[in-house]
């Protein structure tokens, strides 16, 4: 059932409120307010918002400019392939070209993904038909390219730009460029000859013709590195191994974005037999492999950070290390799982934690918020109790933790040194959907609250005692009435 807040926004959007229309589109994109993710609906409301602003004829006004700016930011995050059959696709098509020409990396990626990604070949065929039938006439961006081949060429340029720039789309762009490398019959035949017959001449020719897989295979062979099916590399370097040639071919594969090539380069630069021995360069290669998702590189980077944790200046000791080790653990590296258990605490079962009964009552209270008429401070305390149960916090941590700063991607950071300097921070792994939902709900509740709204430690203790006493009597008996509001 839709929340009251969502229904309020929907009502305002239908009345033509520009901000409400954008909020509604954002909800359909992110799933907020428990709304199903529907990019098509989001696009429809963004189109309405665009024309609402345009029809006001306030382009020169600062407020109008801000509305357009936030609107374009939302549109750039629309997955273009998912709205291809939307009635608003033509609007999105025009806007995406405009944003790409203005330098939007998100728009460049969406266009490149639709126009040249082989997995969208059916959509590309339909797109050609629509362009040839002039069903994609430009209504907003007059510079939109009318020719499909010209658009593909421009999208390929965008893809190269993304691959060269440091952004969230860099790795996706590099992977797509690898998939788009020439796969003509001659190259396929050479590569097949190497795979089936072990023909070294065919391997060299494949590498020279630019095949990334061949460059990697040749580099590993020259360095005498064997790679098993799990991606682990066993190294048996010999003094006569052609390490310089190996580094050359692996370097070419690495430039194509191959993570295994980066990892192998890291191994080569660490070997004393290699004339170009360079520990700093080796670490850089391992870091690049880790950034590209190589599980062993991620574990290696995390373990290295953990060993050096005493010397590293960071917010909470061990936080960086735990992140990379967690990434390796997610990919099934057994050593990472073992080390992660030493770094992160585990509290997956709330029934075994300290605050279970009280948290159950607090959750019931929040689920009937309107019925019990809680004031904001009491609601925030209920969220604190629920979080404390999910992550087995102490009473001091329950009262003092900065809820809005707890969550990281892989763990919770409980740090109350701002009030109690002698209590060391704790890193607790996020393991269950229930834990993530609890953090999400609390984050929404605490967003926008003033820094001193909950008061000092003495005031929080007093409020905690009142809330727990009230939960144990009123909620436990489940007899809510209007007198419940008198607690405030």
Distance from C-alpha of 294 to C-alpha of 305, rounded to nearest angstrom: 16
Distance from C-alpha of 330 to C-alpha of 265, rounded to nearest angstrom: 24
pLDDT mean over 460-479: 83
Q: What percent of the chain has pLDDT over 70?
A: 86
Burial (CB count <10 Å: 0-12, 13-18, 19+), residue 112: buried
pLDDT mean over 72-81: 84
pLDDT mean over 301-307: 93
Burial (CB count <10 Å: 0-12, 13-18, 19+), residue 229: exposed
pLDDT mean over 132-148: 54
- Cα 51 from chain centroid (whole Å): 31
The pLDDT assigned to 209 comes to: 84
Whether 56 has a pLDDT exceeding 70, the answer reads no
Burial readout 242-273 (b: 16 or more C-beta within 10 A, e: otherwise): ebeebbebbbbbbebbbbbbbbbbbbbbbeee
Distance from C-alpha of 168 to C-alpha of 173, rounded to nearest angstrom: 10
The pLDDT assigned to 382 comes to: 94
Output 416 or 65, whichever has higher pLDDT: 416
The pLDDT assigned to 26 comes to: 85
Residue with tokens 């029809």: 55
Q: What domains appear along the chain, each with residue ranges and CATH number?
A: 4-179 (1.25.40), 185-343 (1.25.40.10), 350-487 (no CATH)
pLDDT mean over 373-384: 91
The pLDDT assigned to 215 comes to: 94
The pLDDT confidence band at residue 307, using thresholds 50, 70 and 90, is very high
The pLDDT confidence band at residue 484, using thresholds 50, 70 and 90, is very low
Spatial CB neighbours of 149, under 8 Å, sequence gap ≥ 6: none
Whether 210 has a pLDDT exceeding 80, the answer reads yes
The pLDDT assigned to 241 comes to: 56
The pLDDT assigned to 79 comes to: 87
Whether 65 has a pLDDT exceeding 70, the answer reads no
The pLDDT confidence band at residue 30, using thresholds 50, 70 and 90, is confident
The pLDDT confidence band at residue 461, using thresholds 50, 70 and 90, is very high
Q: Count Cα atoms within 13 angstroms, Cβ side, for 450.
A: 7
Q: How many other C-beta atoms lie within 10 A of the C-beta of residue 94?
A: 19
Output 233 or 39, whichever has higher pLDDT: 39
pTM, 2 dp: 0.60
The pLDDT assigned to 448 comes to: 77
Burial (CB count <10 Å: 0-12, 13-18, 19+), residue 477: exposed
**Whole-number average pLDDT of the chain:** 83
The pLDDT assigned to 184 comes to: 67
Specify the range with the lowest mean pLDDT, choosing from 55-69, 89-103, 303-317: 55-69
Spatial CB neighbours of 137, under 8 Å, sequence gap ≥ 6: 90
The pLDDT assigned to 11 comes to: 85
Whether 414 has a pLDDT exceeding 90, the answer reads yes
Whether 130 has a pLDDT exceeding 70, the answer reads yes
Long-range CB pairs of 404-410 (<8 Å, 24+ gap) are: 404/443, 404/446, 404/447, 406/439, 406/442, 407/439, 407/443, 408/319, 408/323, 409/323, 410/322, 410/323, 410/326, 410/327, 410/344
The pLDDT tens digits for 229-276 are: 344 555 555 444 588 899 999 999 999 989 999 999 999 999 888 888
The pLDDT assigned to 182 comes to: 61
Q: Are 304 and 324 in contact (CB under 8 A)?
A: no
């Amino acid at each position: 059932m839709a929340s009251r807040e969502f229904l309020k926004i929907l009502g305002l959007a239908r009345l033509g409120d520009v901000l409400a229309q954008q909020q509604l589109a954002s909800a359909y994109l992110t799933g907020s307010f428990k709304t199903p993710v529907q990019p098509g609906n989001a696009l429809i409301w963004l189109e309405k918002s665009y024309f609402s602003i345009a029809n006001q004829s306030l382009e020169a006004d600062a407020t109008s400019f801000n509305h357009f700016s936030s609107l374009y930011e939302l549109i750039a995050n629309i997955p273009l392939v998912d709205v291809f059959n939307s009635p608003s696709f033509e609007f999105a098509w025009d806007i995406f070209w405009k944003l790409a020409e203005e330098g939007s990396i998100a728009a460049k990626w969406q266009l490149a993904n639709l126009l040249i990604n082989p997995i969208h070949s059916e959509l590309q065929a339909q797109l050609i038909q629509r362009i040839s039938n002039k069903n994609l006439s430009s209504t907003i961006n007059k510079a939109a390219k009318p020719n499909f081949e010209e658009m593909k060429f421009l999208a390929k340029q965008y893809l190269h730009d993304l691959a060269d720039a440091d952004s969230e789309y860099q790795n996706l762009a590099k992977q797509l460029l690898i998939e788009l490398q020439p796969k003509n019959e001659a190259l396929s035949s050479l590569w097949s000859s190497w795979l089936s017959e072990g023909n070294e001449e065919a391997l060299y020719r494949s590498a020279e013709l630019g095949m990334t897989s061949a460059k990697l295979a040749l580099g590993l062979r020259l360095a005498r590195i064997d790679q098993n099916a799990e991606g682990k590399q066993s190294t048996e370097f010999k003094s006569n191994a052609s390490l310089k040639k190996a580094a050359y071919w692996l370097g070419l594969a690495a430039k194509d974005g191959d993570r295994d090539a980066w990892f192998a380069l890291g191994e080569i630069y660490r070997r004393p037999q290699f004339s170009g021995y360079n520990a700093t360069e080796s670490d850089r290669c391992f870091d690049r492999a880790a950034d590209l998702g190589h599980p062993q590189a991620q574990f290696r980077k995390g373990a290295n950070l953990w060993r050096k944790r005493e010397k590293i200046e960071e917010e909470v000791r061990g936080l960086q290390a735990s992140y990379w080790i967690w990434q390796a653990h997610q990919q099934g590296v057994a050593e990472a799982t073992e080390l992660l258990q030493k770094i992160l605490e585990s509290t997956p079962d709330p029934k075994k934690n300290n605050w279970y009964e009280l948290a159950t009552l607090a959750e019931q209270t929040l689920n009937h918020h309107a019925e019990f008429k809680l004031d904001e401070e009491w609601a925030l305390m209920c969220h604190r109790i629920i979080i404390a149960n999910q992550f087995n916090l102490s009473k001091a941590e329950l009262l003092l933790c900065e809820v809005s700063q707890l969550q990281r991607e892989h763990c919770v950071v409980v740090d109350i040194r701002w009030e109690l300097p002698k209590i060391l921070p704790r890193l607790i792994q996020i393991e269950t959907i229930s834990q993530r939902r609890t953090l999400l709900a609390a984050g929404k509740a605490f967003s926008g609250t003033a820094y001193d709204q909950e008061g000092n430690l003495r005031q929080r203790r007093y409020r905690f005692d009142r809330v727990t006493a009230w939960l144990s009597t009123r909620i436990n008996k489940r007899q809510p009435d209007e007198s419940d509001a008198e607690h405030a």
